[in-house]
Structure 1
Amino acid sequence: MGKQITIKFETLHQFCVKAIRAVGAKEEIARIVADVLLEADLRGISSHGISRLPVYIKRIKLGLMDADAMPNIVKETLCTALLDGNNGFGQVGAFKGMELCIKKAKETGVGIAGVRNTNHIGMAGYYAMMAMKEQMIGMVFANASAHMPAWGGLKACLGTNPIAIAIPGGKQPSVVVDMATSAAARGKIIMAARRGEPIPPGWAIDKEGRPTQDANKALEGFILPLGGPKGYGLSLVIDVLAGVLTGALFGSRIPSMTSDWTRPLNCGVWLLAFRIDNFVDVEEFAIRFDTLIADLKDSPLAPGFEKIYVPGEIEMETREERLRSGIPLDEEVIQELKNVSETTGVPLITY
């Protein structure tokens, strides 16, 4: 790994907001996008953090995204809604979609929203956690540019389509599952390529179908599904919900965000929030949830392990540390942000 520079969260957040405002977004939009990107960096998910800002800015300047677009409701029932993202920031479409899910869940017990004609949403877990903070269970499914073959195939047919589920805890840590349905998120392979590092075996194959640990050959080839046919099945279902059902593009029809500079993405997201007290009293749920987590944490440790974590717990510890000490960014990311600074006129402070 090359040299890293650590920058305070507040400094990066302010830069991100100002840079997005500089390309035409209103304050509300800029703050939503900055909040989502920097939350990923705080939690150690750098592949979905501020490193994504340069490609967003490039797509906006090429007319492939509308920086100031807000979603609108196309179709609505008491419990469901379909939104059009109007080719705006994916973070805004997903945020407004989950906001509406939470509102409907408070009124009816459950809220479901689909968003079409949107863009890369960043860290899917952010929106699931919006519901979790309201003492609800949140779920998010999003489709993405196709970089994964059907199981047994040699053509990019599906995205690394993420799934996120967030469940509030009681005294024990909350559970936040946030993962790609591929062996790894494509952003992690992009980061490895930037650093000149190999990727683990089993992540990808090259364009001829041969296993590779070369990050650049992986980006030219195909990312493998998580758990083989299991990840393939999950990715397919997510594409049906987020793409086919919402009216967004799906499968190989979604262009690459980082290499196709000719047309908008028009990807989709499907979100759900429901109240725990639909089923059981919230306090009783917390007691039962804590019992389950305590059982897991009391398990004997396997060799090489010092502690049993629940999904999302390591990220929360990382978040607390980075709020205190700052966010480490690779030199390559810093250079790309300096390029954003030059094109937008927003100063980047790197100390």
Structure 2
Amino acid sequence: MVKRSGASDEEAEIVVDVLVYGSLWGIDSHGVRALPVFAKRRARAEMKVVKEAPSMAILDADHAWGPVSAVRAMEIAMEKAEGRGIACCSVVNGEWITNLFYYAMMAVGNDMIGVVTAREGPVCAPWGGTKPVMGTNPMSVGVPAGKEYPIVLDFATTMVAQGHVMTRLLEGRPIPEGWLIDRQGSPVKGRDLSVETIDEFWETGGSLLPFGTYKGYGINVVIDVLGGALNLTGTGSRARGQGFLMTVLDIASFSPVDDFKEEVDRLIAEIKSSPVMPGFDEVLLPGEREHRAMERRRREGIPVDERSWRNILETCGKLGIDAKAIME
């Protein structure tokens, strides 16, 4: 499907790998369900570095498939961070990169700490306001460990990612109060929305709310600046494409890598040994639930809701792909 959009074999492999990992991690809104989005025909992109210094670079993605430009940006940041301690790569003319954790984990796999932030278009109202100004503005941080799972932080700075609202509707579940407001600032919840009306909700000024009240709102605003002002791709209503920043810390430049991992393992063990609060089964680390989901889905397979599966099959049909033959 992705190759039919004009992608090379390598580009298609990157896109599919990122989406499959999204599904394996239980992030269905950013998983294989999104395949039809990447099947749309587009012109060949010519990515190039337009500005750089020893520890920074700006990559013009030329509207390449988001995952392709994000992988290249992280590679650049890692190359520059090695031996220097820290480096970053900002991206202009970027498209949707989907799963930020994937790129943070690229750094983890090279014994580095990866930090990914992305600025998106307006879907989030400022704290105390009603008009969408900022995006979901997600971030991810990947930290290597020794014997334990890596620590992987990955979240939108809104109550949920925009795609999670659709996932909820596709699963037939009600919208929790506190996620959304309409243009007048009234809460939108329960069965107020459906798969058929969600697009109209966004188009008429419906908005997500920032997580964590004013604190999450503050993080959201800063990410808008990092992804849209630092590289001049625009912030708020001036946002153009998805602006993102890859930052990498080379652990070996600070401390022996094995010693670092041992210290992280000790922290993890201490956190896990904390007495469990009533109402909880255990204490989890950031990314632990997703690691477990990946192990389970590798055994049991990736679930796809009926509507999304039908959309995938219809897209295959439009592209002249015999999906049934592939699955046999």
TM-score, normalisation: structure 2: 0.92
Aligned to 1:239: 224
Give the structure 1 partner of residue 156 of structure 2.
Answer: 180
Amino acid at match of 1:230: K
Aligned partner of 1:330 among 291, 305, 308: 305
Unaligned runs of 5+ in 2: none
Which of 217, 229, 233 is matched with 1:248 structurally?
Answer: 233
Matching of residue 169 in structure 1 with residue 145 in structure 2: yes
How far did 1:303 drift? 2.2
Residue correspondence of structure 1 range 250-329 to structure 2 within 5 A: 250-254=235-239, 266-329=241-304
Is this contact kept in 2: 1:138–1:165, CA < 8 A?
A: yes
Percent identity of the aligned residues? 38
Contact preservation (8 Å) 2:119, 2:244: yes
Q: Which moved more, 1:205-214 or 1:78-87?
A: 205-214
Q: Which moved more, 1:280-289 or 1:159-168?
A: 280-289
Please name the residue that 1:257 is paired with. Answer: none
Give 3-state SS (helix, strand or coil) of 1:118's partner.
coil
SS in 2 for 1:290: helix
The equivalent of 1:8 in structure 2 is none
What SS does the aligned partner of 1:103 have? Answer: helix
Displacement of 1:103: 1.0
Distance of aligned partners of 1:215 and 1:71 in 2 relative to their CA distance in 1, 3 Å threshold: farther
Stretch moving more, 239-248 or 173-182: 239-248
1:224 corresponds to which residue? 209
Deviation string 1:147-179 (CA, Å, 9 cap, x unpaired) is 001111121100000010000011222100000
* Change in CA separation of 1:162 and 1:72 when aligned onto 2, cut-off 3 Å: same
Summarize the Cα distance change of 1:55–1:207 in structure 2 as closer, same or farther, 3 Å threshold: farther
Q: Which residue of structure 1 aligns with residue 131 of structure 2?
A: 155
| Cα distance between partner residues in 1 of 2:151 and 2:236 | 30
Matched, 1:89 2:74: no
* 1:176-215 matches, cutoff 5 A: 176-213=152-189, 214-215=192-193
The structural deviation recorded for 1:70 is: 4.3
Residues in 2 aligned to 1:332 and 1:25: alpha-carbon distance in whole angstroms: 26
Which amino acid is 1:318 matched to? Answer: A
Residues 1:288 and 1:334: Cα distance change in structure 2 (over 3 Å): same
How many pairs align?
A: 317
**Aligned: 1:340 with 2:322:** no
Instruction: Identify which range, 152-161 or 189-198, moves more after superposition.
Output: 189-198
CA distance in 1, matches of 2:168, 2:291: 24
- Separation in 1 of the partners of 2:171 and 2:297? 21
Tell me which amino acid in the other structure corresponds to 2:309: I
Alignment-mate amino acid for residue 19 of structure 2:
L
TM-score, normalised by the number of residues in structure 1? 0.86
Query: Aligned pair 1:27/2:2, yes or no?
Result: no
Q: Deviations over 1:289-346 (max 9, x none)?
A: 1111111100111223222211111111111121122100000110110121012122
Deviation at 1:40, TM superposition (A): 0.3
Q: Deviation per CA, 1:94-121, whole angstroms, max 9, x where unpaired?
A: 1100011111122422221000101111
Query: Does the C-alpha gap of structure 1 residues 122 and 74 become closer, same or farther in structure 2, counting only changes over 3 Å?
Result: same
1:304 and 1:70, CA in 2 relative to 1: closer, same or farther beyond 3 A? farther
On the 8 A contact 2:65/2:96 being kept in 1, the answer is: yes
Amino acid at match of 2:314: N
Return the match for 2:36 from 51, 54, 63. Answer: 54
The code of the aligned residue for 2:147 comes to K
Q: Which moved more, 1:285-294 or 1:156-165?
A: 285-294
Equivalent residues of 1:192, 1:215 under 8 A apart? no
What SS class does the counterpart of residue 138 from structure 1 fall into? strand
